Every structure is written in structure tokens, then in C-alpha cells.
Structure 1
Amino acid sequence: MYLGIDLGTSGAKILLMDEDQSVVATRTADLTVSRPAPGYAEQNPDDWVQAIGTAIDGLAASHPREMAALRGIGLSGQMHGAVLLDAGDRVLRPCILWNDTRSHAEAAGLDGDPAFRRITGNIVFPGFTAPKLVWLRENEPDIFDRVAKVLLPKDYLRLWLTGRHVSEMSDASGTSWLDVGGRRWSGELLGACNLDSNAMPDLVEGTDASGDLRASLAARWGVAGPVTVAGGAGDNAASAIGAGTVTPGSAFVSLGTSGVLFAATDRFLPAPDSAVHAFCHAIPDTWHQMGVILSATAGLSWFAGLLGTTPQALTASLGDRVQSPGDVIFLPYLSGERTPHNDAFIRGGFTGIGHTSDRDAMTRAILEGVAFALRDNLEALRQAGMNLHSVTAVGGGVRAGYWLRVMANALGIPVLLPADGDGGAAYGAARLGMIAVSGGDPTTLCTPPRIVAEFEPDPALSPDFEAAYQRFKDHYPALSRLARREGSSS
């Protein structure tokens, strides 16, 4: 048996998989985000341990025989967070998360140093890890001086599971400290942040062993034999492993809290000017290009909360037949934006609202706005040399069939729905656990899932969607000017 653990932002998921790669059982746990100031987002790392430990306790109670046969664990998690530990591995402050934009000025300062784009192949985004440590040095120097280790969120779970400070290439790519082409920490970039390699975890490939499960936890969960903990992956690379997106040109679109367009490649293809991420994949000698929007299902959840309902109720009322985009346009920039704008200041909004704009019209606008933002990502990937012919859909948003139909029309390419489409990252983590134990070939074991539906663009709707996308694009410059004018007057 193999266990996949996926540490998300709003929740965690664990998945138990057998040697035939069939899912035996899953458990979930809810998590909350603290927002102590505008643009801030934090979580207590020990809350992750408690939530996931309780979930695995439940799995051990309901499936004791299967847990006794556990042999491998894989880890997946939200990227870019800064878990700061002292010399005794005690957490010094809440983790600053990926969607926290407080360090936008520090990110711009680092990005102004040509070494960062040259070595990492990426823009230094405000959500990345390195600018968080520069912000910490300038704003909380007493804490900075006590930092002995900087871990990424999933790697704090690894420390709890194994007692070892280890990370892997895909997650480390999002720190702005990794030589992404060379797959190693950069002493030059760490030095620019007043850090050195002693503050960093060891690096392994996602398919390698990173340590063994602690005996105390093995006893707690009734595990009979030794358990290998794999290197694992950042959440998007783990979703790619789960979706079989491991061969050059294969791609997925993720509708989670954030939105992602991800394509695998066998070469390091940096294109920082397009705000496309060029990261290591979770398997050796493989990289990926990725566009990221910061609010996908987060936008729909926000709107549902305002109305006192659920996202599922909102999308269910739309039916299955996709309509042409209406007058209402939604800009999904609730937490700023990454690809292609790299804009920490931009905020979202509705335009075109009239007396006849009802709940369904607003919901459709949100789904369309997220789809058009991902179309922006598709165009950025094309400019970076990646030509995609179809995408597999993963993430919680795939349960809304209407949204996937909208996505196909907005992107202009087929969107494929896999069986069990929302389990990608945890399933991918379990696969990495299996590979670390077996030493098997990742390209052989990480096969694409069975496709249960294919959503094609509707030629009759294509002109309307293309015109609506151009209107969507025209809104960003005006909204950006407004955001900066309001920011300068406050």
C-alpha cells in the first residue's frame, strides 16, 4: 500500500493506493487561512500536522489491514510558503503563504538583480519564498536572526514524518533560490538574501527516497514494516504525476483555489518575460512550463459566501447548455495576479452589470472570467514555445461540467475529464511513494487516467467567446491604472 498526502491551502487530502494503483480510501481535513492585514495570508504549520495526523488516524481505524501493509508515502503541497525553524526545529512564526503579497517591493528588488532570472529562469514573484525572507529581515529582524532552517510547507510534514530536513526539485523551483537548469541550490542567490546553504534542506528528486517513517508514527498507525517517504512534489507537479502529464507536450489545466496551465517538457525552457514559470518536474531530467492565476475556485467560493449558498448550487442552476458570454465581465484578480501580468496590486471586479443581471449571469461571468484568465496563460505558453492541442482537467472545479464546457470554448482546445478528476495531487503523491520504493520507471508507471468525457469547443459559440475574450483583455490596463491611482492616494 502507498499513501499520498496533499497539503492544500483550504484543506488537506490523504489517499491510500494499492500496488495496482487503485484508490482504496481517501480522507480530507479542512484548513483555515489567517489574514491579519490586507494582502497577508498565513497558516500555523502545527495545524497541518494536527489535521493530517487526525485524518491518517481515521484511515488507520477504518482500514487497519491495508495500513499495516503500507510501504511508501509521497508528499504534495502548496508551494512557496516560508516555514521558519530555529535550531531546535521549533516554528518561529506562522507560515507566510503563496498568495501573500506583502513582499512585493522586496520581490521587485530581487528581480532587479539579473542573476535571479539568469539562474532560476523565472521572475521573482511576490508569492515566492525568497522575497518573504528579505521582508522578514527588514520587518522582523529578531526572528530572521533566529532562522536556522527554511522549509516549504510539505517539507515541514516530512520533518514530522521522518525527522529529516529534505526538499525536492519541483517545490524548490518556486523559492527563487534554485538553479533550475542545474537542479541545485544557488549560493549566489542565497547570499543575495543573507542566507547560505546551511539554512536550506537537502535536495532529492521527487522519485527518490527522502527518509523513513518514524517508528513512533508507524506504531501509532499500525504499520508492520519499514515505510519509505519519497521526495514528493509541489502540488502542481504532483497533479501532473497523477494525471500522467510526464511526456513532452502533455498538459493539464487545474481548477483549484488557484488556476494552473501546466505542460511537461524534456528541456529547461525559461521565458521569464512572459511571466511563465519554468520549473523542474518531479521526475529526473524533466521540466515543465506553467502559467498560474491566483484565484480560480476561490472566486466562485467568495461569491457563494456573499450569497449564503455553495459553489455547487451556483453552478448547478446553470444547467449543461453553454450560453454565449453576456454583458457582465468578471476580472478574477482577488489576490493580485501572476501570469501574465505579475501584478500584486491589481484587484478583481465586475463590469457590465445592469438591472437584468441576476445570480446566474454573475455566476456565468465568474466562470468565464477564470477561463479567460487561463486563456491568457495559454497565450503566454504559446509565446514561450509550447503548442498545446488538448488539456486534462484536474482540481475541485472539474465537478462543474458547465465550467469545463466554458473552458473548452475559452481556450479553443478540447478539455478532457478523467475518472476521479479531483484526486490528482494526492494520487500523484502516492505514485511517487510507489516509485521511491520500487525503483520503477516513472514514464511507465505514471500513465494518463481513463477519460470519461471530452469537452470540445462549439464552433457556433467560438466567435462570441473570442470577442468576449478580447473585451476581457481590454479591461486589465484600465483596472491596473485604477488600482495604482487608488493605491497612491491611500
Structure 2
Amino acid sequence: MAFLGIDLGTSGLRALLVDAEGCPIGSAERAYATHHPHPGWSEQNPKDWIDALTSAARELRVAHPEFADLKGLGVSGHMHGAVLVDESGDPIRPCIMWNDTRSHEEAARLDAIPEMRAISGNVAFPGFTAPKLEWVRAHEPENHARVSKVLLPAAYVNWYLTGDYVSDVSDCSGTGWLDLRARRWSATLLDAGNMRSDQMPRLVEGCTPAGQLKTELLSEWRINHPVIVAGGAGDNAAAACGIGALSEGQGFVSLGTSGVLLLARDGCDPAPETALHSFCHAIPGRWYQMGVMLSATNSLNWLSRISGQSPAALTKALGADIKPPSNELFLPYLSGERTPHNDAQIRAAFLGLDTQTSLDDMTRAVLEGVAFALRDSAEAMKATGAEIKVLYAVGGGAASRYWVELIATILGTCISLPKGGEFGAALGAARLAIVAATDARPEDVMRSPDYCDRITPRADLLSAYDDAYERFKDAYPAIRSVQ
């Protein structure tokens, strides 16, 4: 038996073929373009996703005979995107992406409705789907009138695969229309957003069957038996499945362009006032919370550009062991901030620079500022009763042991570095397919990876970094008052 995980990423698609144990057989990747017709706009053509999937599947079929034994597949997708289709299932306009900010006014109006946060468990961010539809209603009424279904990117791929309009609850948690606790569409929120329940896809859990692969695709892929298509997941829920973060307190910190701290939760304890994301997990009866900062490695990349030193050279110059907090302070708000401030207008700042400040000092301050911002998310989660029990570090920034040790110390928790191999969203999607097609227990399939290093907090620096974090917290309102 073989299973396929499809990760529909922002910049490209990754298809991962695994065996019945979840071990990789082969993978294929395809890129596609994002279009920015106006400042703040971000759009993609859904046809490009299908072309990428068709090409990647063909490559895997030719290269790996095991593809003919495909039993199930699952799709992970970038969240919040609005794919508007007509009665024939054809897109009416390009997909409005998660990082599109045109609907900030519509988001503010929806967020002011008391039921929005109470039912959805989240702030109505401009990136969410509901504000996008309100923007279309106001600015493209002819398109809004033609909408038969609103699909998220992964749900559009599900429709292509099965012929059915179906999505999973983890992905739909980021629309602004889902009742987070009940894990179903909210009639109240749909009405507030001028939408109808018949315009929504059918909801399933991510690890349950959503349908079967269409007959024409079975023929095209040269498969002569039924193939189960799992409900799938939003990208972060899929990544949690890939790294085995299913139960209370299990999670990961992701050091990519943006930064993410994600923890699985056994219960539903939203805290929208903190700007935490609280979403359904791809596993029934479980949720996850996620803090997001907008400029993690992007802060180091910014310093790299203006200094002429590579990010690796900047961090290598600091040595192997972390030092006490620097005198300089960096607020990593280069593109605004999400958690806990929900402030699109705030911008970054250096404090405490003097004539003796060196590039190494500035590098330390940047790494510390990102770690302090991640602690903001950790503190918000703790306020809802969460406790970090197992934490992995992933993403490009995790290659810096100095940075990971710094984060471990500032968070006051051990952080493991996974061994090389598969543990991302594509593996998570494949694991959802295994569960959906075989009725295996999620806990038996979605195991945590082995780790190559387990980094412990520096006990001798905990108190000093606690004090430095308090200084960091005090700086935001002071800087905000003058910007």
C-alpha cells in the first residue's frame, strides 16, 4: 500500500508518496506564481494548483511503481484563501490569498460584531476568508452574486479530486464562519457576513474520508482500485500531524520568515483578546492554539541585507554559547505584529544603541527580540491554561543552535531538534490519508520524530532573561505612542 500527501504551499506544491508505515518513497515539487495587481493584494490562479498536482502526480507515477498501489491521499493547504466558484465549479476570479490585506476595513466591521469572537474564537483578521467575501460584495458585486460555493484552497483541490465540495474543520476554522466549539458552520456568523449555508462546503474531520478519487483520475493515474481522499487539513494542523503534536501541550516553534508557536489542546479555550489563533485540529475532539509573529527570520534577513553579512555569518560570530541579555533591545515589528498586539501599523525599533554598539550586539538583540516575541505567544497560551510539554524547533532559523538555546531559555522549556527527514505538512497530509483509509488510530500513525539534539534552558540566565522580557513588554506601548 502507498499513500500520498499533497501540501499546497504558498509558493508551490509538494507531493509526498509514503508506504503504509509513513516512510517516504519519493516526492515531487512544483512552483507557481503569486500575483500582486495592487499594493497589499495577493492572488493565485487555482488552475495553477491543478496543473502542479497533475505534473507532480505524473512524475511520481513514472518514477515509483508503488504509486499504482495508492490507497489514500490527503491535502494540506495554505489557509484563509477565498476561491469563489460558480454553479459549474469554475473559479469566478483569482483566489484571494491569506496574506492579502485589502479587506482590513471589512475585517474591523466584522470583528466589532460581539458574536464574531464569541463563536469563532478568533479575531476577524483581514487575512481570514469572511472579510474577503465582504470586500468582494462591496467592490465586485457582480462576482459576489455569482458565488455558488466558497472554497478554501485545499477544498478546491478536494473538489478536483472527488467531484464533491468538502472541507475539513481545521482549515475552516480560519474562515470567520465556523463555530469553533461545535465544529460546524455558524448560521449567525454566515448571516453577519452576508453568506448562506448552501454556499459552504460539506464539513468533515481531517482524518476521516471526504470521498473517493474520481473515475477519470483513476484512469489518468493508472490505478485500478478505489482510492480514499481524506478530509485533509490547514497547513499548520497538517504540520502538527507531521511532527506528532496531537495531545495537550505537544507542539512546535517554527522559525521561518514568520514565526509560529503552536500547541495542541485537548479542549477548546480560545482567547481572541490575545490575538492567538484558536483552531480545530485535524483530529476529532482536539484543537490547537497558535501564536504568530510576522518577522522571525525575516528580522535576521533584514539585518543581513543592511550589514552585508549573511545570516549564517552573523549568528556564527556570536559563538556557541548564549550570553546574558544585551543592552540593546530590538522590537521585531518590521511588518507589524499579529500575536499579541494585532497591530498592522506598528513598526520595528532598536533601543539602547550607543557609540560602542557593534554588529554582534545588534545581531544578539535581533535574535533576542524574536525570542521575546515568541514568549509573548507562550504567555498568552499560559493564560488559557496551556502548558508546554513537548516542543520541537523547525524552520530555517532552527539551524542556529545559538538561537534555539536562546528561545529555550526565554521560554523556560526544553526544545528538541528533529533528525533530518520528513516531518512537515506533506507528511501530515499523508498520515491523515493513512488514518482515513485504514481506520488506524491517529496516535499510532502520527508519532513524534526522533531528535538529534535536545536543548535545555540555561539555568544561570533564566532570571536575567525574565527581567529583559519585562523590558521588552514595556517597550511596545512606549513605541506605539510615538508612531
Q: TM > 0.5 between the two?
A: yes
CA deviation profile, 1:47-92 (whole Å, cap 9, x unmatched): 33333433333333322x1211221111112111112222222223
Q: Which amino acid aligns with 2:274?
A: S
Name the counterpart of 1:43: 44
Name the counterpart of 2:370: 370
Structure 2 distance, partners of 1:328, 1:54, is 50
Does structure 1 residue 208 correspond to structure 2 residue 224?
no
Does structure 1 residue 131 correspond to structure 2 residue 151?
no
Name the counterpart of 2:62: 61
Q: Identify the range of structure 1 (251-260 vs 29-38) with the bigger mean alpha-carbon deviation.
A: 29-38
1:205-284 to structure 2, matched below 5 A, reads: 205-284=205-284
Name the counterpart of 2:439: 439
- Other structure's SS at 1:174 match: coil
CA deviation profile, 1:4-58 (whole Å, cap 9, x unmatched): 1112223433222111221222333345543444433333333333334333333
- Other structure's SS at 2:26 match: strand
Q: Which amino acid aligns with 1:40?
A: W
Structure 2 distance, partners of 1:30, 1:188, is 39
1:464-475 to structure 2, matched below 5 A, reads: 464-475=464-475
Q: Which amino acid aligns with 1:86?
A: D
Structure 2 distance, partners of 1:35, 1:80, is 17
1:282-293 to structure 2, matched below 5 A, reads: 282-293=282-293
RMSD: 2.6
Q: Is the 8 A contact 1:259 1:293 kept in 2?
A: yes
Q: Which amino acid aligns with 2:388?
A: L
Name the counterpart of 2:122: 122
Q: Is the 8 A contact 1:240 1:425 kept in 2?
A: yes
CA deviation profile, 1:272-292 (whole Å, cap 9, x unmatched): 222222221111111222222
Structure 2 distance, partners of 1:171, 1:445, is 21
Structure-2 change in CA distance of 1:96 and 1:353 (3 Å): farther
- Other structure's SS at 1:440 match: coil
Q: Identify the range of structure 1 (258-267 vs 313-322) with the bigger mean alpha-carbon deviation.
A: 313-322
Structure-2 change in CA distance of 1:32 and 1:325 (3 Å): farther
Q: Is the 8 A contact 1:275 1:339 kept in 2?
A: yes
CA shift, 1:311, in A, is 4.9
Structure-2 change in CA distance of 1:460 and 1:112 (3 Å): same
Q: Is the 8 A contact 2:24 2:422 kept in 1?
A: no
Name the counterpart of 1:151: 151
Does structure 1 residue 22 correspond to structure 2 residue 23?
yes
CA shift, 1:172, in A, is 0.7
CA shift, 1:201, in A, is 0.8
Structure-2 change in CA distance of 1:287 and 1:25 (3 Å): same
How many residue pairs get matched?
482
1:385-400 to structure 2, matched below 5 A, reads: 385-400=385-400
Structure 2 distance, partners of 1:253, 1:213, is 35
Structure 2 distance, partners of 1:194, 1:311, is 47
Structure-2 change in CA distance of 1:280 and 1:241 (3 Å): same
Does structure 1 residue 167 correspond to structure 2 residue 200?
no
Q: Which amino acid aligns with 1:54?
A: S
Structure-2 change in CA distance of 1:356 and 1:295 (3 Å): same
CA shift, 1:293, in A, is 2.0
- Other structure's SS at 1:75 match: strand
1:75-94 to structure 2, matched below 5 A, reads: 75-94=75-94
Does structure 1 residue 339 correspond to structure 2 residue 339?
yes
Q: Identify the range of structure 1 (311-320 vs 224-233) with the bigger mean alpha-carbon deviation.
A: 311-320
Structure-2 change in CA distance of 1:92 and 1:380 (3 Å): same
Q: Is the 8 A contact 1:266 1:285 kept in 2?
A: yes
Q: So what's the TM-score if we normalise by structure 1? A: 0.90
Unaligned runs of 5+ in 1: 484-490
- Other structure's SS at 1:454 match: strand
Q: Is the 8 A contact 2:249 2:390 kept in 1?
A: no
CA shift, 1:359, in A, is 5.4
Q: Identify the range of structure 1 (167-176 vs 384-393) with the bigger mean alpha-carbon deviation.
A: 384-393
- Other structure's SS at 2:27 match: strand
CA shift, 1:350, in A, is 4.0
Name the counterpart of 1:488: none
CA shift, 1:436, in A, is 0.6
- Other structure's SS at 1:436 match: helix
Q: So what's the TM-score if we normalise by structure 2? A: 0.91
Q: Is the 8 A contact 2:155 2:167 kept in 1?
A: yes
- Other structure's SS at 1:461 match: helix
Q: Which amino acid aligns with 2:23?
A: S
Q: Which amino acid aligns with 2:227?
A: V
Unaligned runs of 5+ in 2: none
- Other structure's SS at 1:460 match: helix
Structure-2 change in CA distance of 1:11 and 1:322 (3 Å): farther
Identity, in percent, stands at 50
Q: Is the 8 A contact 1:228 1:437 kept in 2?
A: yes
Q: Is the 8 A contact 2:243 2:423 kept in 1?
A: no
Q: Which amino acid aligns with 1:419?
A: K
Does structure 1 residue 9 correspond to structure 2 residue 10?
yes
Q: Which amino acid aligns with 1:285?
A: G
CA shift, 1:417, in A, is 1.5
Q: Is the 8 A contact 1:125 1:338 kept in 2?
A: no
